[in-house]
Amino acid sequence: MKIKHSEFVISNTDFNKCPKADKPEYAFIGRSNVGKSSLINMLMGRKQLAKVSGRPGKTQLINHFIVNNEWYLVDLPGYGWAKVSKTDKSKWAKMTKDYLENRENLACVFVLIDSRHEPQKIDLEFISYLGENRLPFAMIFTKTDKQSPNKSQSNMAKFRKALAKDWENIPPCFLTSSAHKTGRDEVLDFIEEINGE
């Protein structure tokens, strides 16, 4: 898919205030610092559509972008901030769950996973939650330029093996690097395929 246009629409903390659910929607979520903003910018071919920051404690918002006037890209707040208070964690949980469990045009949730690490409990738990709620998802393994291709493949294989305990069919997995712009066509073509269904 070619990205002809991408534009920020709205940020909010309440899924009821999201844009009208009249187009397919793809949400991106993952542990804080996983490389979500960089990936969104890489996919959209923009330098600063989503903000990039290594700093914890960013405002937790649901951010909508419209792409090619055909679909919404949603930047969801990251999970797993080490320094976030209990109150903020429960605010995150409520806002994100309300969104995920009620957004009727949600076509796929992309769960971002850092390809440098072996399977992490927090990511596996989030995926179990998606499964329990029958939410369609795919996995994106980020920052593959940071180690050898073998290491990324092996961490992805370990992750798939961990999921195989609970899942008969493991959802699609993508290996990406925002620094090297790899995996872009694969993710965008996957979205195009779902849009065409």
Which residues form the interface with ligand GDP (CB under 6 A)? 32-38, 52-54, 78, 142-143, 145-146, 177-179
Q: How far is the CB of 83 from ligand GDP (least distance, A)?
A: 14
Nearer to ligand GDP, 4 or 180 (CB): 180
Q: Enumerate the β-bridge partners of residue 65.
A: 8, 73
Q: How far is the CB of 131 from ligand GDP (least distance, A)?
A: 22
Q: How far is the CB of 115 from ligand GDP (least distance, A)?
A: 9
Q: How far is the CB of 150 from ligand GDP (least distance, A)?
A: 17
Please spell the DSSP secondary structure of 133-190, one letter per residue.
Answer: TT--EEEEEE-GGGS-HHHHHHHHHHHHHHHHTT-SSPPPEEE-BTTTTBSHHHHHHH
Query: What's the CA gap between 110 and 75, in Å, rounded?
Result: 10
Q: How far is the CB of 165 from ligand GDP (least distance, A)?
A: 27
Nearer to ligand GDP, 125 or 193 (CB): 125
Nearer to ligand GDP, 25 or 142 (CB): 142
Nearer to ligand GDP, 3 or 21 (CB): 3
Residue with nearest beta carbon to ligand GDP = 35
Q: How far is the CB of 54 from ligand GDP (least distance, A)?
A: 4
Query: What's the CA gap between 139 and 32, in Å, rounded?
Result: 15
CA 157 to chain centre: 19
Q: Which residue has the tokens 């779902």?
A: 194
CA 123 to chain centre: 12
Nearer to ligand GDP, 143 or 184 (CB): 143
Task: Give residues with Cβ within 8 angstroms of 77, minimum separation 6.
Answer: 29, 58, 60, 61, 62, 92, 95, 96
Nearer to ligand GDP, 13 or 38 (CB): 38
